[in-house]
Structure 1
Amino acid sequence: MSRFIRTATALTLGASTLASLPALAADELHYNQISLRAEASQEVARDKMIVTLYTESQNTDPAKLAAEITTTMNQALDQAREVKAVTLRQGSRNSYPIYDTKNQKITGWRERAELRLESADFPALSKLTGELLNTLKMENMDFAIADATRKASEDALLKDAVTAFKARAQLATEALGGKGYKIVNLNFNTNGYPQPYARGGMMMKAAMMESAPTPQVEAGTSQVSMSADGVIEVLQ
């Protein structure tokens, strides 16, 4: 007899035990249930490039400092808007005081503002970045998987994971000598979809300045997977 088939324990039924029989019936035991796991994976291209640029300066006059930062950012925004393939997003902007050596008196102000650029057109964004580095500095360059690409990948992986789970369920059923099976529950989990991969800003800036205006970039791929975890009941 299969090891997965539970054997009933002989009970001596007293008055109190008989009173609990309805509760036992309501909490029906399930036999021949097996937990299974299957997984499907694929390589997915990092098809979105993300560049974060910034400007930073200091001045004893906070109003003049703010005007300088605003002028620099407005010029960068106007230039970036001309490249239709690039999505713009302004990042954080912060101003903070600079103190003297005794940390008692404010001697000036420093301000920093960020500009975030995203695009699936790597050459266009690389060229724009090289041009903007004349007035801005680079914080980092990231690569990620675009939302549409991720959804398409997840849809394909879900089908593959279901197929793999059903194949494993059938294999387990045959190994146990069952006539068939039914799925009790099934859950899916995705893994491997990366957070943007950041390349150091100083290194990338040097590469931009020393090479051609449009440096080549290679985003690479990520192996992503979807697991199917579930329980089946083998039918005898």
Structure 2
Amino acid sequence: MTFIRPLLHATPLLLMVLATPAPAAASDEAPITTVELSAEAERPAANDLARASVFAEASGATPAEPAGRVNKLISDALKTARTYAKVRAQSGATHTYPIYGKDARIEAWRMRSELTLESRDSAALSELLGQLQTALGVANLIMLPSPETRKQAENEAIIEAIAAFRERARTVADALRKDYRIKQLSIGSGGRPPAQPRMRSAALASADAAPMPIEAGETLIRATISGQIELTD
């Protein structure tokens, strides 16, 4: 006889429902059009500051020999410069170096020392340079705007460059029949005066001690505006 055993336990069926988020609705906002622009302006700045560098140079068998001569020349030059109240004098670079012969041995020593002169009175500096040239060489002479003059010209150039940037932005926006707003701006400025080098390896004769001709001229200060605008409805 076969017995059928009743089912005492049944494993319940578990149903798992995974909730999946609905896809996000696409944005109704139109993409913003961004345009990069740049503009620049220039303003002249008077070169009202003169800067010159004079030097003394000598050679000798030992370092002490050229040092004695060069130091004396520079000391005398400083005394002369102090008689010009409108000229500021400042010690510059000084170098002492050996001179080698063919056998790589030191044959002599050479020394060079510089003096920097600066003044807003170009006539006074011209006269002083004429006197110093009887004993010293002139390494360079440059005319440039003073910090105050440069800043004023720079500010004026920046204002003009910003106006040019806004005008260009309006032109672009009107052509596309849009309005605009400025998103980002970058302001830069620059300007370099022309250098007037004067190079002399030997002093002039005392009879030639005439004032050095100086033409001030102007420096163009440039301001550049670059940035981005966003076109809006």
Counterpart for residue 12 of structure 1: none
Counterpart for residue 184 of structure 1: 183
Is contact 1:145-1:194 (8 Å) kept? Answer: no
Counterpart for residue 161 of structure 2: 161
* Mapping 1:1-236, distance limit 5 Å: 18=23, 30-104=31-105, 106-178=106-178, 180-191=179-190, 193-194=191-192, 197-202=195-200, 210=208, 213-236=210-233
Deviation, 1:44, is 2.3
Deviation, 1:195, is 5.7
SS in 2 for 1:89: strand
For residues 141-192 of structure 1, what are the alpha-carbon distances to aligned partners after superposition, in whole Å with 9 as ceiling and x for unaligned?
12223222221111111111111112222222222212x321100111223x
Q: What CA distance in whole angstroms lies between the structure 2 residues aligned with 1:121 and 1:17? A: 80
Aligned amino acid, residue 184 of structure 1: K
Q: Would the alpha carbon gap of residues 116 and 17 (structure 1) be closer, same or farther in structure 2, given more than 3 Å must change? A: farther
Is contact 1:33-1:234 (8 Å) kept? Answer: yes
Aligned amino acid, residue 174 of structure 1: D
Q: What CA distance in whole angstroms lies between the structure 2 residues aligned with 1:60 and 1:16? A: 93
Q: Would the alpha carbon gap of residues 58 and 166 (structure 1) be closer, same or farther in structure 2, given more than 3 Å must change? A: same
Give unpaired runs (5+ residues) of structure 2.
1-19
Task: Please tell me whether Structure 1 or Structure 2 has the larger radius of gyration of its CA atoms.
Answer: 2
Q: Would the alpha carbon gap of residues 100 and 33 (structure 1) be closer, same or farther in structure 2, given more than 3 Å must change? A: closer
Q: Percent identity?
A: 29
For residues 107-158 of structure 1, what are the alpha-carbon distances to aligned partners after superposition, in whole Å with 9 as ceiling and x for unaligned?
3321110111111211100000001112211112122232222211111111
Aligned length: 211
Q: What CA distance in whole angstroms lies between the structure 1 residues aligned with 2:183 and 2:229? A: 5
TM-score (norm 1): 0.77
For residues 96-115 of structure 1, what are the alpha-carbon distances to aligned partners after superposition, in whole Å with 9 as ceiling and x for unaligned?
123344222x3332111011
Q: What CA distance in whole angstroms lies between the structure 2 residues aligned with 1:222 and 1:78? A: 33
Q: What CA distance in whole angstroms lies between the structure 1 residues aligned with 2:143 and 2:109? A: 34
Deviation, 1:222, is 2.8
Q: What CA distance in whole angstroms lies between the structure 1 residues aligned with 2:43 and 2:154? A: 10
TM-score (norm 2): 0.78
Q: Would the alpha carbon gap of residues 30 and 41 (structure 1) be closer, same or farther in structure 2, given more than 3 Å must change? A: farther
Give unpaired runs (5+ residues) of structure 1.
1-14
Q: What CA distance in whole angstroms lies between the structure 2 residues aligned with 1:102 and 1:146? A: 51
SS in 2 for 1:61: coil
RMSD value, Cα: 3.0
Q: What CA distance in whole angstroms lies between the structure 2 residues aligned with 1:189 and 1:222? A: 16
Going by fraction, where is helix more abundant, 1 or 2?
1
Counterpart for residue 7 of structure 1: none
